[in-house]
């Protein structure tokens, strides 16, 4: 219907198409200039806070010196990239980033799905809502406080340390000082923070499943477990796939905030990821150009991964992220 209408309009007024780009711009500006004016501050915001820093990333190809500034410093080509790729840090932080990412993915990704499936079985609505409210809570606690609590609980006399000690799993020492425990602590506390909040989206998907499907399945003689695999999981699969794609797209983008709050020189070997390395080399040790190069490398990889995963999901016939 809309199609015929628009083609009729085109047939009726072919001159509309012939208008040049400049003329259309002019006309558009004449009608909408007030609207563009309102938008101007927003555009300025993006230019100032996003696009100029992107341009500033050219210091990755320069030797930044404060006296010449970003624009005036000398070009050095890809020196900093070569330095990074040939440094022993490269393998270590790349490995750590992947280890932390995949551990979070393997353990952290299914957790909210399982919680949502379990909550979905509860018919008592007050009980269900109470559990939801409580498990959402850690999401709202600030990261500084979360890490403060973690530090305190796994200190030599901390709650977790003494509980684990009483069953003979660890000695009474600061667990954050043990490099092999950094990833488990990071992943488990991450689940603690996000399991409840992450389940919301799956609960919504679950509530969208048509009840008739369950009835049909049970008439066909499907038991509860069979229904889970034949009705429930397929019902929430699109949501799972989208969430998984989003996660995979960010596999190289482990955030540094929690890392730099929890790590210390004793655990750098296992805890240091690309972003925390950029932070430390750049803002603590003032190797501005070198760390910009590392950061740019990371940004480009992240960007490519996101584009690729989205392309992949579109190809695979699942809905795309944008």
Partner 1 sequence: MQIKESIGRKVFLGINALILLAVAIAAFYPLLYVTLASFSNASQLMAHDGVLLRPLAPNIESYRATFRNSFILTGYTNSIIILVIGTIVSVVATTVAAYFFSRKNVMHQKTLMKIVMFTMFFNGGLVPTYLWMKQLGMMDNLLVLILPTCLNVTNILIMRTAMYGIPESLEENARLDGAGHLVVLSKIIVPLVMPTMAVIALYSAVGYWNSWFNASIYITKRSLYPLQLVLREILIQNDTTKMIDDVTIAEQAQVSETIKYAVIVVSTVPILCLYPFLQKYFVNGVMIGAVKE
107 binding partner 1? (CB under 8 A): no
Q: Kindly list the distances between the CA atom of residue 200 and the CA atoms of 228, 245, 250, 320, in Å, as whole numbers in the listed order.
A: 19, 18, 21, 20
- Find the largest Cα–Cα distance for the chain: 85
Give the helix ranges, DSSP H, for 87-124: 88-103, 110-121
224 binding partner 1? (CB under 8 A): yes
Sign of CA dihedral 129, 131, 132, 137: positive
Choose, by CB under 8 A, the member of 149, 241, 248, 301 that binds partner 1.
Answer: 149
Query: Segment contacting partner 1 (CB under 8 A): 7-15, 101-109, 162-170, 228-236?
Result: 162-170
Choose, by CB under 8 A, the member of 9, 82, 137, 237 that binds partner 1.
Answer: 137
57-96 positions binding partner 1, by CB under 8 A: 57, 59, 64, 69-70
Minimum separation from the CB atom of position 59 to partner 1 (A): 6
168-197 positions binding partner 1, by CB under 8 A: 192, 195-197
CB 69: neighbour CB atoms within 10 A?
10
In this structure, what token pair is assigned to residue 42? 């927003």
Q: Which residue matches tokens 């628009």?
A: 6
Nearest to 309 by CA among 299, 300, 321: 321
- Which of residues 25 and 82 has its CB atom nearest to partner 1 in the complex? 25
Choose, by CB under 8 A, the member of 56, 91, 234, 238 that binds partner 1.
Answer: 56
Query: Segment contacting partner 1 (CB under 8 A): 8-16, 88-96, 99-107, 136-144?
Result: 136-144
Separation of CA 16 from chain center: 45
C-alpha to C-alpha distance for 244 and 309, rounded to whole angstroms? 10
Q: Which residue matches tokens 């490099």?
A: 179
Contact assessment for residue 314 and residue 234, using Cβ atoms and an 8 Å cutoff: no
233 binding partner 1? (CB under 8 A): no
258-287 positions binding partner 1, by CB under 8 A: 261, 275, 278-279, 282-283
Choose, by CB under 8 A, the member of 9, 54, 82, 233 that binds partner 1.
Answer: 54
Query: Segment contacting partner 1 (CB under 8 A): 3-11, 79-87, 90-98, 295-303?
Result: 295-303
Give me the half-sphere count of Cα atoms (radius 13 Å) on the Cβ side of residue 221. 0
C-alpha to C-alpha distance for 19 and 180, rounded to whole angstroms? 67
252 binding partner 1? (CB under 8 A): no
Minimum separation from the CB atom of position 31 to partner 1 (A): 8
C-alpha to C-alpha distance for 191 and 167, rounded to whole angstroms? 23
209 binding partner 1? (CB under 8 A): no
Query: Segment contacting partner 1 (CB under 8 A): 79-87, 94-102, 125-133, 229-237?
Result: 125-133
Minimum separation from the CB atom of position 190 to partner 1 (A): 13
13-42 positions binding partner 1, by CB under 8 A: 24-25, 28, 31-32, 34-36, 38-39, 41-42
Contact assessment for residue 150 and residue 184, using Cβ atoms and an 8 Å cutoff: no
Query: Segment contacting partner 1 (CB under 8 A): 7-15, 84-92, 102-110, 297-305?
Result: 297-305
């Amino acid at each position: 219907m809309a199609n015929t209408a628009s083609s009729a309009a085109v047939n009726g007024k072919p001159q509309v198409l012939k208008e040049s780009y400049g003329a259309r711009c002019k006309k558009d500006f004449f009608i909408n200039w007030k609207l563009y004016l309102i938008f101007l501050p927003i555009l300025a915001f993006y230019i100032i806070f996003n696009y100029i820093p992107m341009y500033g990333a050219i210091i990755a190809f320069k030797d930044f010196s404060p006296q010449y500034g970003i624009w005036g410093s000398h070009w050095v080509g890809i020196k900093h990239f070569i330095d990074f790729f040939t440094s022993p840090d490269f393998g270590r932080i790349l490995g750590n980033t992947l280890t932390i990412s995949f551990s979070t993915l393997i353990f952290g990704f299914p957790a909210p799905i399982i919680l949502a499936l379990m909550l979905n079985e509860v018919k008592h609505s007050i009980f269900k809502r109470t559990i939801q409210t409580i498990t959402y809570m850690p999401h709202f606690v600030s990261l500084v406080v979360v890490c403060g609590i973690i530090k305190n609980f796994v200190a030599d006399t901390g709650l977790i340390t003494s509980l684990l000690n009483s069953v003979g799993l660890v000695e009474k020492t600061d667990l954050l000082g043990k490099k092999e425990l950094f990833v488990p602590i990071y992943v488990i506390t991450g689940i603690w923070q996000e399991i409840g909040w992450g389940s919301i989206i799956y609960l919504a998907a679950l509530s969208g499943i048509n009840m008739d499907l369950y009835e049909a399945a049970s008439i066909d003689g499907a038991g509860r477990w069979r229904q889970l695999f034949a009705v429930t999981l397929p019902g929430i699969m699109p949501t799972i796939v989208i969430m998984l794609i989003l996660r995979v797209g960010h596999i190289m983008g482990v955030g540094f905030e929690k890392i730099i709050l929890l790590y210390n020189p004793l655990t750098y070997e296992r805890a240091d990821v690309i972003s925390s390395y950029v932070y430390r080399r750049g803002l603590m040790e003032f190797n501005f150009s070198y760390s910009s190069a590392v950061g740019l490398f990371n940004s480009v990889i992240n960007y490519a991964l996101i584009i690729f995963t989205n392309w992949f999901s579109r190809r695979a016939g699942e809905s795309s992220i944008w």
